[in-house]
Structure 1
Amino acid sequence: MLFNSRVVALILAIVVAGVTTAFLSLVPDVTVQSLLVAGLLSFAATYLLVFVTFEFLVFKEIGEIYKVLNKMRNKDFSFTESEEDASTSTNPLKRINREILTFGVNRNKEIEDLRKLEVFRREFLADVSHELKTPVFAAQGFVHTLLDGAVDDKKVRKRFLKRAAKSLDNLDSLIHDLLTLSQIETGEIKMHFEHFDIVVTAREVIDQLENKAEKKGLTIRMDTSYPDPIFVHADAIRIYRVLVNLVSNAIKYTDKGSIQVGFEVEDDMVQVFVRDTGVGIPPEDLDRIFERFFRVDKSRSKESGGTGLGLAIVKHVVEAHNANINVVSTVNEGSNFSFKLPIGQSTAEMEEEAKLELEMMSQDR
């Protein structure tokens, strides 16, 4: 550094000593010896004062700022903990140093987040393009086969048209799930909370998927009889979709045994669970099963169909209800998916509550 603390102190000391000596020389009867002593004293005092001030309060902190910038340039943030007390310092340069550090750390975090987002975007686009191509190519292959001559055979034509229709149905389901997931994430779909009997909802789901389970030789039922209704406060349509996705997923990954849907009332919450006796989920995959297009067993998913977005939708819908989806699974024994919803009120209870409120209002009048 061209101007360090010693150079600055020397220049200022010479200037101050010169000015002091010049003024003293204007005083009558001042001896040369007195001027010399005054000049030396002012030089020494100024040099020490300026040197100490600049060395420990200015140049040292500027040097620290320079070191911080160099470390930030090299993406080395290991020094952040040692700088924690800088924000309470009275030295303005230390505070500037801290601000530069904070700014650099925040910008670095933003850059890392953008990089992760870019990686995620590329993976997502690759997954979407792959998932879209599968049903499109399948339908395209069936149609071209028909055009190449198979259309003349009535049985072959019917079989190929059914397969093409199934591929297009899968494509429609994939696009619908993608749109649903995107709308939930962006907040375009709002949850419409209401009080409803979740036992009735679960039985409707079982009725809808019972035939699908029977084709695999599985039984799907409630874990016990529920003679009394269980009311929850949630979005009935979205919770119905959550149960459909969970039960469909259980059917897909269960080869023998049963799927059970049940509830446990805990204080002011209702725990909803879907339990199966399927293949289970390896421990290393438990943290990833709610990711888009992630499949534990890709070959099974390919045979059974599905968009690979069912559990991702489940996660987002449940989180929109300020809850978490939990899973406990053992390989070759089965899985248990569960989440909690706030307990609701029946129509009679709401009417009674409204009646009491009206009575209280009339008494206040």
Structure 2
Amino acid sequence: MPVVGSYRNDVYVEELRYIVRRTALLMPFLVLIYGLAIRQSWLERSAFYSDWALAGITGGLILLSLWQKYDKANWDNDRRIAFNAVLYHLLAAAFLLFVSGADNPAVLFWMIMLICTDLFFGRTAYLLSGLLLVATAGLALAMDPSMLSDGRAVNAAGLIGIMLAVSWVASRMRQVGENERRAYHRLRQHEAMQRDRLQTLINGMAEAVIGTDHKGIIRTYNAATLGLLDTNRSLGGLKIGNALKLTDEQGQPVSFDALLKSARGVINRSDLTLLLESGEQIKLAATITPLRPVYQHRQIMSGYIIVLRDVTREKSLDEERDEFISVVSHELRTPVAVTEGLLSNLTLLIDRGVSPRQVAQSVNEAHEQVLFLAKMVNDLSTLSRAERGVADDPEEIDVSQLLHEIYQEQLPAAKAKNLALNLDLAPRLGRVLASRLYLSEILQNLVSNAIKYTNEGSVTIAAQLEGDRLRLSVSDTGIGISKSDQKHIFEKFFRSEDYRTRETSGTGLGLYVVSKLSRKLGISVSLTSRLNHGSSFSFSLPAIQAAKTKKTFSAQAA
């Protein structure tokens, strides 16, 4: 297979073209000098025909070589290359016939054409070139039969045989080299394809991946790396230690270069903090894998692969979970200890035969602690269901009916404190589309809180239409909330330092549950409060008008 046809844009072929062009420019001068030497009888001139023959052949070679040099299209057109090769062969044959003779060492110049023909056109063209040489020698013998008698035919045959043998060996060596080049070319293509696949895979990873050389210079990275570092500038060529500014859990600087140097195997670090140029800090988990070439037996690193993962959220969740468990344990410990003490004291009172009134008092106090625990467990259960998305499927809710149900449930507690529980509903409220469990829990918590922190006056549950939205509110005339406490009122386990708040039992989870469930419903609970003048909590939902609902149900029935 020809070289040029297979690798038209290959650097190796470009070098071959350069050599052939230079040889083509040099060849006319060599032919002219050799021809003049024959003309002057410095060399055997038995076949020299005339000065015109030498001039014509030399002029033809000069014109052909100049055409090749300045017509760039010659090298991009297979037909032109083949046409040039035919012209060179004809001029070479003419030189052997009319200037030097077939028995002259000049026949060795044909070897250049044999090799070039093999390179550019393959084995078939190579064989045709050899046949043309043999035919030229035969024609020379026919033109000068005396070559048989004076031994020149034998010389010509020897020269042609040697030249064909050498060119054949050169052709086969070239073919072996060409096969190696093709194998290397396929290997490079396969390597490039595998590299592209690997790069595509790395770019598709959510984790930041960085590849460095043995000195820690960044050579490759994926898109997630730029996202993690919050930058668009190129990282190639930077020292990894300059690109990543790290600290440990104690806030002490960590040198990434030192980490790489200390890596004798895979290193995992989850205690790192990345400092961004914007001042933001990101918790990082880093995996460093040293690379060693398989052909090296010594402990020499060829590079490192670093995988970085943002664990800020995970760390925050872990810290929040630990804090939550700690606070819940603390909050549960008190009522459990009080209940245990009351029940132990109750057993002692019974053994001593005290009056039933004292026994009933201890039982009531223990019952209140159990109710407190039940309330906390219920709030925790509600939070758990909200986190897991249990019962969050929306459904059409008749708001008026729901508020009446809550009113009836909370009325006994209001009466027990001599409070007026009011229900202020606008006509034709219609329906809303929401999770019944979540909406009911929000309203229950707001109403029970209002009753708990109102010692006299009233608690009002209200609902009214505001355009295409339905506003629900719970207002009271209770102790109110100070401005400083209003900033923290929706935090879990938060309870005001107001002594009146401390006089009532509470888990500190009620309003946190309200905040959590309201986010699940996509609503925002607003607070208006003034110390010693009461509070009002309100939120709004998109309303489904009664008329529209009735029309929808009628259409479905039809």
- Quote the residue 1:79 is aligned against: 277
- Quote the residue 1:168 is aligned against: 370
Verify the 8 A CA contact 1:293 1:307 in the aligned structure 2.
Answer: yes
- Quote the residue 2:386 is aligned against: 184
- Quote the residue 2:241 is aligned against: 66
Change (3 A) 1:297 1:256: farther
Contiguous gaps of at least 5 residues in structure 1: 1-56, 82-99, 360-365
- Quote the residue 2:453 is aligned against: 253
For 2:544, what is the secondary structure of its paired residue? Answer: coil
Verify the 8 A CA contact 1:195 1:345 in the aligned structure 2.
Answer: no
Change (3 A) 1:180 1:339: same
Higher-helix-fraction structure: 1
Runs (4+) of structure 1 moved beyond 6 Å?
none
- Quote the residue 2:101 is aligned against: none
CA displacement at 1:246 relative to structure 2: 0.2
- Quote the residue 2:430 is aligned against: 230
Contiguous gaps of at least 5 residues in structure 2: 1-217, 220-234, 248-252, 254-272, 280-305
Letter in 1 for 2:461: V
The answer as to 2:407 corresponding to 1:206 is yes
Change (3 A) 1:278 1:166: closer
What percent of counterpart residues are identical? 31
Aligned mate of 1:267, from 437, 461, 467: 467
Larger Rg: 2
CA displacement at 1:266 relative to structure 2: 2.3
TM-score relative to the length of structure 2: 0.44
TM-score relative to the length of structure 1: 0.65
The answer as to 2:530 corresponding to 1:353 is no
The answer as to 2:417 corresponding to 1:216 is yes
Verify the 8 A CA contact 2:392 2:437 in the aligned structure 1.
Answer: no
CA displacement at 1:349 relative to structure 2: 4.8
Aligned mate of 1:314, from 499, 510, 514: 514
CA displacement at 1:327 relative to structure 2: 1.5
Q: Residues 184-243 of structure 1, C-alpha deviation per residue, up to 9 Å, x if partnerless?
A: 1122x1224332321232233223223322333432213x45343432222334322221
The answer as to 2:460 corresponding to 1:285 is no
Q: Residues 243-281 of structure 1, C-alpha deviation per residue, up to 9 Å, x if partnerless?
A: 111011112222333222212312322111112222222
The one of the two structures with greater contact order (alpha-carbon pairs below 8 A, sep at least 6) is 1
**Aligned pairs, number:** 275
Verify the 8 A CA contact 2:469 2:540 in the aligned structure 1.
Answer: yes
- Quote the residue 1:37 is aligned against: none
- Quote the residue 1:52 is aligned against: none
Verify the 8 A CA contact 1:289 1:311 in the aligned structure 2.
Answer: yes
Change (3 A) 1:65 1:299: same
For 1:340, what is the secondary structure of its paired residue? Answer: strand
Higher-strand-fraction structure: 2
CA displacement at 1:301 relative to structure 2: 4.5
CA RMSD of aligned residues (A): 3.1
For 2:444, what is the secondary structure of its paired residue? Answer: helix
Distance 1:195 1:320 in 2: 16
CA displacement at 1:140 relative to structure 2: 0.8
Change (3 A) 1:162 1:212: same
Distance 1:358 1:142 in 2: 60
Distance 1:65 1:80 in 2: 19
Q: Residues 6-62 of structure 1, C-alpha deviation per residue, up to 9 Å, x if partnerless?
A: xxxxxxxxxxxxxxxxxxxxxxxxxxxxxxxxxxxxxxxxxxxxxxxxxxx99x964
Verify the 8 A CA contact 1:271 1:339 in the aligned structure 2.
Answer: yes
- Quote the residue 1:276 is aligned against: 476
Verify the 8 A CA contact 2:339 2:366 in the aligned structure 1.
Answer: yes
Verify the 8 A CA contact 2:399 2:431 in the aligned structure 1.
Answer: yes
For 1:329, what is the secondary structure of its paired residue? Answer: strand
Distance 2:454 2:520 in 1: 29
Verify the 8 A CA contact 2:460 2:475 in the aligned structure 1.
Answer: yes
